[in-house]
Amino acid sequence: MRHALSALLILWSAAAAAQSAFEIEEERLFDAPGTAVVRIVSTTDTDLFAPIVTAFQAANPEIDVHYTTAATTEVHRAVESGAAFDLAISSAMDLQMKLANDGLALPAPGPADWPRLARWRDEVWAFAQEPVVAAFAPRAFEGMLPRTRSDLIDALRRDPERFQGKVGTYDPNRSGAGYLFATQDARQSDTSWRLAEVMGGLDPRLYASTAAMLRDLREGRILVAYNLLGSYATADGFAGVEMLDFTHVLLRTALVPRSAPAPDLGRAFLRFLLSPEGQAAVAATGLPPIDADALTRAPHLRPIRLDAGLLVYVDPLVRGRFLREWTEAVRQP
């Protein structure tokens, strides 16, 4: 008995140490009349994700859901440190790929016909796709809105006094999603570097989350928000502008961590997300479900694919070099 108690204390201490190795934003227990609990760590806001949990529990009333939200880098740190979560959901696709590549994701078989661009082996699965957009305050532009990055560059250059300190975008030094969007911009076109330099000359505001960016846009502290999540912009009452030169399509992904205390429950929730019922629940929140055909109907949409190319920019040397160049462009003296 004493040995069993000691073992439990050791396990509890290890779990507590891992749990304290990252910062959380919110925790919520979705209580059900059941005896099991699935623990999820996620970058998706609780209120946005709550209807999906409700739909899951309607089909699985015996399972409670403990839902924890954290920033993209913190979700990655949680899984990397072995925190006790059964499912990890993130908008930072490259960090999810790195976890799987480092052997920190368990196999979680899903639908055999799932689009290849939306899965990595049987470890990382995308359950929603959404455009990465720009959003503008109503008084930002007179006449036509910018519809390409070249249009936006021209508009910012024409009236620098109007936009001084009034442009916002992600800080890739602090945000995993922001780093993903910035690196994908750079892969697509050199125009993105010109835009970064123009924004840098306007003393831009840099953010760690779309929610913070939208709050400042709504309250008039900025006029332009660049590279933010389309679903959040729509939910906040803004018309997300898809750039016609190219618009990235983010895939929200989920994986079962190797440190999961109840991996079968994590797999059960993941299977629900990928099921027709789960995809309907995803759509009901305003998050676009996986639809590969939708991407082919709009040639300006460029899906960020779940493939080995995402691992290039998570290499420490490549990441360090990219962040130095980006910082020099955007944080001008």
In a shared domain, residues 148 and 198: yes
In a shared domain, residues 165 and 85: no
In a shared domain, residues 168 and 237: yes
Give how many domains the chain has, as a whole number. 2
Percentage with pLDDT > 70 across the chain:
93
More confident: 49 or 5: 49
In a shared domain, residues 92 and 174: no
Compute the mean pLDDT over every residue in the chain, rounded to the nearest whole number.
89
| Residue 9 confidence (pLDDT) above 60 | no
pLDDT value of residue 6: 38
In a shared domain, residues 90 and 217: no
In a shared domain, residues 101 and 36: yes
d(C-alpha 88, C-alpha 93), whole Å: 11
In a shared domain, residues 96 and 210: no
User: Which residues in 112-165 belong to E strands, given as ranges?
Assistant: 119-120, 124-136
d(C-alpha 116, C-alpha 125), whole Å: 10
Q: Can you spell out the DSSP letters for 268-333?
A: HHHHHHHSHHHHHHHHHTTPPBP-HHHHHH-TTEEE--SSGGGGGGGSHHHHHHHHHHHHHHHS--
- The backbone torsions φ and ψ at residue 67, rounded to the nearest 5 degrees and listed phi first, read -115, 120
Taking residue 198's Cβ as centre, other Cβ atoms within 10 Å add up to 22
* Model pLDDT for residues 74-114, shown as the tens digit of each residue: 999 999 999 999 999 999 999 999 999 999 999 999 999 99
In a shared domain, residues 69 and 195: no
> Would residue 196 be called left, alpha or beta, if left means φ above 0 and alpha means ψ between -120 and 50 degrees?
alpha
Q: Which of 166-175, 209-218, 290-299 has the lowest mean pLDDT?
A: 290-299
Report the CATH number that the domain containing residue 147 is assigned in CATH.
3.40.190.10
Q: Which of 104-118, 182-196, 229-243 has the lowest mean pLDDT?
A: 229-243
pLDDT category of residue 3 using cuts at 50, 70 and 90: very low
Provide the token pair at 107. Answer: 């196999």
In a shared domain, residues 317 and 171: yes
Cβ neighbors of 269 (< 8 A, separation 6 or more) are 38, 40, 56, 65, 86, 87, 254
In a shared domain, residues 190 and 320: yes
In a shared domain, residues 125 and 14: yes
pLDDT value of residue 333: 60
Alpha helices in 81-130 (DSSP H): 93-101
User: Which residues in the chain belong to E strands, given as ranges?
Assistant: 26-30, 36-42, 63-69, 87-90, 105-106, 119-120, 124-136, 167-170, 205-207, 224-229, 247-257, 301-303
pLDDT value of residue 50: 96
Domain extent, residue 7, equals 2-129+251-305
pTM: 0.84
pLDDT value of residue 298: 86
* Model pLDDT for residues 109-161, shown as the tens digit of each residue: 999 999 998 999 999 999 999 999 999 998 888 878 899 999 999 999 999 99
d(C-alpha 319, C-alpha 312), whole Å: 9
With H, G, I as helix, E, B as strand and everything else as coil, classify residue 107: coil
d(C-alpha 17, C-alpha 24), whole Å: 14
* Model pLDDT for residues 305-320, shown as the tens digit of each residue: 898 889 999 999 999 9
d(C-alpha 14, C-alpha 22), whole Å: 14
Taking residue 300's Cβ as centre, other Cβ atoms within 10 Å add up to 13
In a shared domain, residues 107 and 35: yes
